[in-house]
Amino acid sequence: MKIVVLDGYTENPGDLSWGELEKLGEFTVYDRTSLTDENEAIERIGDAEIVITNKTPITKKVLDSCPGIKYIGVLATGYNVVDYACAGEKGIPVTNVPGYGTDTVAQFAFGLLLEICHHVAHHSQAVHEGRWENCPDFCFCDYPQIELAGKTMGIIGFGRIGQKVGTIAKAFGMKVLAHSPHEHESGKAIGTYVDLDTLLRESDVISLHCPLFPATEGIINKETIGKMKDGVIILNNSRGPLVVEQDLADALNSGKVLAAGVDVVSSEPIHGDNPLLDAKNCFITPHIAWATKEARQRIMDCTLKNLQAFLDGEPVNVVNG
């Protein structure tokens, strides 16, 4: 059995082991495969039966050109890089890795928020540059410091990650509002479910943790921003297209939005003309909220479990079956 990993570097830059997967067959791993040249993916897959991908697209052309494929595993929760409908028509199960990043992604959301509240990196650099040493006072602040206790956190998307963010927010003394298509008892113990307009109107901080669907694409836009408090903080480490980036940039530059922290953008890697790059008080990180070693190990473990279950004839985490 031939197993091909098309883009293994971001999952495993060298600090994890592919060893258990290697035991299952003839194993080849590529650090990167073109995101735009389908022919490279076709050539690398060849007659392999098992294909594992993270962000390399598996299109209809790839599927038609590689008839030996029997299984596709995605090294992520999102699986839109695979034409899973076409794969299903060909009898090829596509699996994903759900739930691996709950703690990591929620933690990172607060990493963004706390940087906005305290500008830790900026002040540390200022100290290293000698500004505290030469300061006439015992301290200095280049930016106003923000206390979270007593403020309202609005969370759009209240699944596993959203609820974890809500739990952390409560620990900071924040009130939690949630908007989600489904209300779960576990969520009711953490926050109060409200309609979207109420959440927009009452929240001091809005954090996005919903999937990207037609109903959520561009959910942060000129109209919804207009319903928010002046000076609101917006966080997005879910999916870039949830935000109309020009509208957010305009709101940051006008001061309507105090600050934004985003780990994802509409097209990745980011393009040089992305309006958020020049917006005021916009903190941008390169899609790393998921990337702790612990979370990546869970991806590795689940990918192995998914493949082993398929080989045993009892597939799990199938998204197209």
Q: Which of 22, 129, 147, 268 is catalytic?
A: 268
What's the pLDDT score for residue 291?
97
Count of other CB atoms within 10 angstroms of residue 103:
16
Residue 39 lies in a domain: yes
Q: Which of 239, 245, 296, 298 is catalytic?
A: 239
Residue 318 lies in a domain: no
Beta-carbon contacts of 178 under 8 Å, excluding residues fewer than 6 positions away, are 154, 155, 158, 162, 166, 187, 190, 191, 192, 193, 194, 199
Residues 241, 297, single domain; the answer is no
Residues 145, 10, single domain; the answer is no
Residues 199, 135, single domain; the answer is yes
The pLDDT tens digits for 66-115 are 999 999 999 999 999 999 999 999 999 999 999 999 999 999 999 999 99
- For the cut 90, the answer to whether the pLDDT of residue 321 exceeds it is no
Residues 80, 109, single domain; the answer is no
Task: Respond yes or no: is residue 118 known to be catalytic.
Answer: no
Count of other CB atoms within 10 angstroms of residue 265:
21
Residue 320 lies in a domain: no
The pLDDT tens digits for 163-213 are 999 999 999 999 999 999 999 999 999 999 999 999 999 999 999 999 999
Residues 60, 113, single domain; the answer is no
Residues 113, 88, single domain; the answer is no
pTM of the model: 0.94
Tokens of 245: 């980036």
Residues 67, 93, single domain; the answer is yes
pLDDT classification of 3: cutoffs 50, 70, 90: very high
Residue 316 lies in a domain: no
Q: DSSP secondary-structure letter at 259?
A: E
With contact defined as beta carbons under 8 Å apart, do 75 and 299 qualify? yes
Q: Which of 119, 123, 209, 287 is catalytic?
A: 287
What's the pLDDT score for residue 270?
98
pLDDT classification of 45: cutoffs 50, 70, 90: very high
Residue 317 lies in a domain: no
Round to whole Å and give the CA distance between 267 and 162: 23
The pLDDT tens digits for 80-90 are 999 999 999 99
What's the pLDDT score for residue 201?
98
Residues 164, 237, single domain; the answer is yes
Residue 321 lies in a domain: no
The CATH number linked to 9 is 3.40.50.720
Residues 81, 147, single domain; the answer is no
Q: What is the DSSP string of 121-172?
A: HHHHHHHHTTTTTT-SSS---SS-----TT-EEEEE--SHHHHHHHHHHHHT
Residues 236, 116, single domain; the answer is yes
Angle between helices 120-128 and 102-118 (to 10 degrees): 60
> What is the mean predicted confidence (pLDDT) over 138-142?
97
Domain enclosing residue 59, as ranges: 2-100+293-311
Q: Report CA-CA distances (Å) from 204 to 152, 187, 189, 192.
A: 5, 20, 21, 15
The pLDDT tens digits for 164-175 are 999 999 999 999
Task: Compute the mean pLDDT over every residue in the chain, rounded to the nearest whole number.
Answer: 97
Residues 158, 255, single domain; the answer is yes
What's the pLDDT score for residue 5?
98
Task: Respond yes or no: is residue 131 known to be catalytic.
Answer: no
What's the pLDDT score for residue 209?
97
What's the pLDDT score for residue 67?
97
Residue 319 lies in a domain: no
> What is the mean predicted confidence (pLDDT) over 117-143?
98
Round to whole Å and give the CA distance between 161 and 129: 38
What's the pLDDT score for residue 171?
98
- How many folded domains does the chain comprise? 2
The pLDDT tens digits for 256-312 are 999 999 999 999 999 999 999 999 999 999 999 999 999 999 999 999 999 999 999
Residues 188, 41, single domain; the answer is no
Task: Respond yes or no: is residue 239 known to be catalytic.
Answer: yes
In percent, the amount of the chain with pLDDT more than 90 equals: 99
Residue 159 lies in a domain: yes
pLDDT classification of 17: cutoffs 50, 70, 90: very high
> What is the mean predicted confidence (pLDDT) over 142-166?
98
pLDDT classification of 48: cutoffs 50, 70, 90: very high
